Amino acid sequence: MSRELRLTVFGAGYLGITHAACMASLGFEVLGVDTNAARVGQLNAGHLPIYEPGLEEFLRAGLDAGRLQFTSSYPEAAAFGDVHFICTGTPQQPGSDRADLSQVHGCVAALAPLLDRPCLVVGKSTVPVGTARRLAGEIAEACPGAELAWNPEFLREGSAVADTLAPDRIVAGVTSGRAEQILRQVYARPLAGGASLVVTSLETAELAKAAANAFLATKISFVNAMAEICEAAGGDVRDLAQILGADPRIGPAFLRAGLGYGGGCLPKDIRAFVARAEELGASASLAFLREVDAINLRRRARTADLAQELAGGNLTGVPVCVLGAAFKPGSDDVRDSPALDVAQILTGMGARVTVYDPAALDNARRARPELSYASTLAIAAQGAHVVLLLTEWPEFTALTPGRLGGLVARRNMIDARNALDPVPWQEAGWEYRALGVAEEAAARARLDASSW
Ligand code: UGA
């Protein structure tokens, strides 16, 4: 295999575009591949079809340097690459908890017969354990010099470039020393920068991704379960999370209580993990993840109920302003968005909902055309009886009670992300409610502030 490896990246989604552009920035020649010709054209013209801070600059730098290009031709990709990365999506199957692997299988089925020289196929997509072993057989059968490795990706949307170029750890699921050496060559720069490499079996590599996302989801649902208890018992989950997080054995990350997790990864990955455990006869081991999912979904219903309470028990015809559509700030992704789910539930309860988001409006309109949207925050808030902060964009957390108070008809705020300081809002006459903070605890905060 040549010293200067040439890379292909299959699938031009969040993962594939980021991986292709970042690998080009490391000096590799990279060919991105996607069956969507329009998307290929857009990428070759330097236009990023997704919202990801900093990525467009990397895309353009790669194109300008002549190191990065996109194609929809599999034969071209097979002829080009020494290392083929599979970054296609694995969404949840409609009507089932399982992952839909059709894109991954389709990619390997199309690529394998075209391979005619030694190469490494590297899976990065999130797949149920056992998938890689089957794909490895298909690839080895199609081309004796080709082999498969599994190298799961841990990047987060919103910090995808930094996560790719400076990961905490790189997992190399391999079946030969040669595959390990090739991955060491590909990731030489991040490894020199301090990332650790864990060399393991294909199965452990697949499980590493599922387990990491399951743990993150569990941590969020744990703190949200504590939020439910705080609401029932008169506690304040923000203080509780601070106390828990100060213990280095627990740590503060992923303990932000509120509306819970969404997106294209955590929700579907834990469901697919449970479904796979059931197939393996190990369903008891992951049964707790069903509760993690249930806690997460309960937060959405609870948020809508709080809005109804603040509206005096009936939402019929009540103008409601929803701030946020993206599943988290820094992203335009609305897949399994908690914010849009709440907007939908409120609409079902009879409210006249208007949604605003600084980046995700186009995607939201496509995903939920039945909801009403406003192109500015001011239009969305005008005349509202209840405002719900559902995605903690800086534009929302920087809002002042006076400015927003000048737009709304009634000063009712639900801070479903615990992103605002309640005191100024309460002092400005807002009825302020947060998830995980009992009404009495919120009132105490007001009293404490006034006694100073
Ligand atoms: C997640 C993982 O963090 C990545 O490591 C993984 O690579 C990725 O999934 C994936 O499987 O591809 P991502 O979905 O981009 O990344 O977003 P996160 O930052 O993990 O946030 C997920 C959700 O949890 C968001 O809706 C966020 O608002 C919510 N969250 C996060 C909380 O509700 N509380 C917290 O304390 C943290």
* pLDDT at site 439: 76
Mean pLDDT of 212-235: 97
Instruction: Determine which residue's CA is closest to atom 2 belonging to ligand 1.
Output: 156
Which atom belonging to ligand 1 lies closest to the Cα atom of 329? Answer: 28
Q: Which residues line ligand 1 (CB under 6 A)?
A: 126, 153-157, 213, 216, 220, 254-256, 258, 260-263, 265-266, 269, 327-328
The label of the residue with tokens 């020199």 reads 192
Mean pLDDT of 420-439: 94
| Rounded Cα–Cα distance for residues 394 and 417 (Å) | 12
Instruction: Determine which residue's CA is closest to atom 19 belonging to ligand 1.
Output: 156
User: Contact, 360 vs 332, CB < 8 A?
Assistant: yes
Q: What is the DSSP letter of 123?
A: E
pLDDT confidence tier of residue 438, bands split at 50, 70 and 90: confident
Which atom belonging to ligand 1 lies closest to the Cα atom of 258? Answer: 33
Contacts of 63 (CB under 8 A, 6+ apart): 44, 46, 69
Pairing of strands 169-173, 412-415: unpaired
* pLDDT at site 258: 98
User: Contact, 237 vs 436, CB < 8 A?
Assistant: yes
Instruction: Determine which residue's CA is closest to atom 21 belonging to ligand 1.
Output: 261
**pLDDT above 90 covers what percent of the chain?**
95
CA–centroid distance, 153 to ligand 1, in Å, is 13
User: Contact, 320 vs 390, CB < 8 A?
Assistant: no
pLDDT confidence tier of residue 449, bands split at 50, 70 and 90: low
* pLDDT at site 413: 98
* pLDDT at site 2: 43
Instruction: Determine which residue's CA is closest to atom 22 belonging to ligand 1.
Output: 261
pLDDT confidence tier of residue 106, bands split at 50, 70 and 90: very high
pLDDT confidence tier of residue 452, bands split at 50, 70 and 90: very low
* pLDDT at site 451: 54
Residue to probe by mutation, ligand 1, list 164, 266, 303, 333, most atoms within 8 Å of CB? 266
**pLDDT above 70 covers what percent of the chain?**
96
**265 has catalytic annotation:** yes
* pLDDT at site 4: 86
Instruction: Determine which residue's CA is closest to atom 34 belonging to ligand 1.
Output: 256
Q: Answer yes or no: is pLDDT of 448 > 70.
A: no
Residue to probe by mutation, ligand 1, list 170, 259, 261, most atoms within 8 Å of CB? 261
The pLDDT tens digits of the residues spanning 186-214 come to 999 999 999 999 999 999 999 999 999 99
Q: Provide DSSP, 325-368.
A: -SSSTT----TT-HHHHHHHHHHHTT-EEEEE-SS-HHHHHHH-
pLDDT confidence tier of residue 417, bands split at 50, 70 and 90: very high
Which atom belonging to ligand 1 lies closest to the Cα atom of 15? Answer: 12
| Rounded Cα–Cα distance for residues 156 and 162 (Å) | 9
Residue type, 258: G
* pLDDT at site 352: 98
CA–centroid distance, 266 to ligand 1, in Å, is 7
Q: Answer yes or no: is pLDDT of 442 > 80.
A: no
Mean pLDDT of 127-141: 97
The pLDDT tens digits of the residues spanning 259-314 come to 999 999 999 999 999 999 999 999 999 999 999 999 999 999 999 999 999 999 99
Which tokens go with 109? Answer: 């089925």
The pLDDT tens digits of the residues spanning 27-83 come to 999 999 999 999 999 999 999 999 999 999 999 999 999 999 999 999 999 999 999
* pLDDT at site 440: 66
